[in-house]
Structure 1
């Protein structure tokens, strides 16, 4: 697996949960928030929110700072940009593959039932 994907896999794993996606949206809107604030109105326990934030922290998606007795959580915007770059690259690879296929079909070099090996680019 290419290095770029290895680096991005924990990030996408962290984003692959509904509760964590909601936390990303809340932190994006609010800038920073305590666990108490994130728990309020979420329908999720404080312990579950803490667990999700730790998972997100391990992927580099969020970071926390202490303010008095509470810990404030913020998004790390750089990791969101990393995810966007990775998705853009994957999108480009699909666009390139479809363009090659279109070229083969339009040229008539692609024949039904024939095996055509297409080059692959990795992230």
Structure 2
């Protein structure tokens, strides 16, 4: 059974290493694998596992240039999570407005 898209995005972002990789890619430029994982404290093999999760969630795209694999952020991949959070936020806003109206009406 596959997870709904927002759950897949949240799961991918739920790991500190993957979140750090996304943060580095969010600066705008595509990075070669070696440079992306530099200073993260993980091997290229370990990074490959994390990058696979990010790629499957639609958060990054990989491109081979010569002998190097370059990775870049895919901002549209965040949309399912953003839409989900917006919907929840609207629900909370509506509930808070109703509570406020109720409390002020009783006061």
TM-score range normalised by the length of the shorter chain: 0.7 to 0.9
Of 15, 19, 25, the residue aligned with 2:17 is 19
Match of 1:53 in 2: 51
Unmatched tracts of structure 2, length 5 or more: none
Of 62, 72, 82, the residue aligned with 1:74 is 72
Where has structure 1 moved over 6 Å in runs of 4 or more? none
Q: Do the aligned residues in 1 keep the contact of 2:58 with 2:77 (CA within 8 Å)?
A: yes
Superposed, which structure 2 residues align to 1:81-120 within 5 Å?
81-108=79-106
The alpha-carbon distance between structure 1 residues 24 and 73, as it changes in their structure 2 partners (threshold 3 A), is same
Post-superposition offset of 1:70: 1.3
TM, length-normalised to structure 1: 0.75
Q: Do the aligned residues in 1 keep the contact of 2:28 with 2:73 (CA within 8 Å)?
A: no
Looking at structure 2, the residues matched to 18 and 67 of structure 1 have their Cα atoms a distance apart, in angstroms, of 28
Looking at structure 1, the residues matched to 11 and 29 of structure 2 have their Cα atoms a distance apart, in angstroms, of 22
Which string of whole-angstrom CA distances, capped at 9 and with x for unpartnered residues, describes residues 48-69 of structure 1?
2111100001111111111111
Larger radius of gyration: 1
Which string of whole-angstrom CA distances, capped at 9 and with x for unpartnered residues, describes residues 42-94 of structure 1?
11221221111000011111111111111111111112244333322221211
Unmatched tracts of structure 1, length 5 or more: 109-123
